[in-house]
């Protein structure tokens, strides 16, 4: 489980899904990215049928 906290220590979001964590990581690191779902699944090494 991953938990993100606000700078004041308040809990913002808690994630258990590995897919959601990978998606957030990708878009936090690449905020301008615009990709199709199949391309994103390939980049993140995910099965496009499960995303």
pLDDT in tens, 1-51: 667 676 777 766 777 788 888 988 999 999 999 999 899 999 999 987 875
CA distance 32 to 47: 23
Identify the CA nearest to 11 among candidates 19, 22, 21, 2.
2
The answer to whether the Cα torsion of 14, 19, 22, 25 is positive or negative is negative
Which tokens sit at 40? Answer: 């994103």
**What pTM value is reported for the model?**
0.66
Integer CA distances (angstroms), 29 to 22, 25, 33, 49, in order = 11, 6, 9, 24
């Amino acid at each position: 489980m991953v938990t993100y906290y606000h700078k004041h220590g308040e809990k913002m979001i808690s994630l258990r899904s590995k897919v959601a964590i990978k998606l957030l990581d990708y878009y936090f690191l690449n905020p301008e990215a615009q990709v199709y779902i199949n391309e994103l699944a390939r980049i993140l090494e995910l099965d496009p049928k499960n995303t």
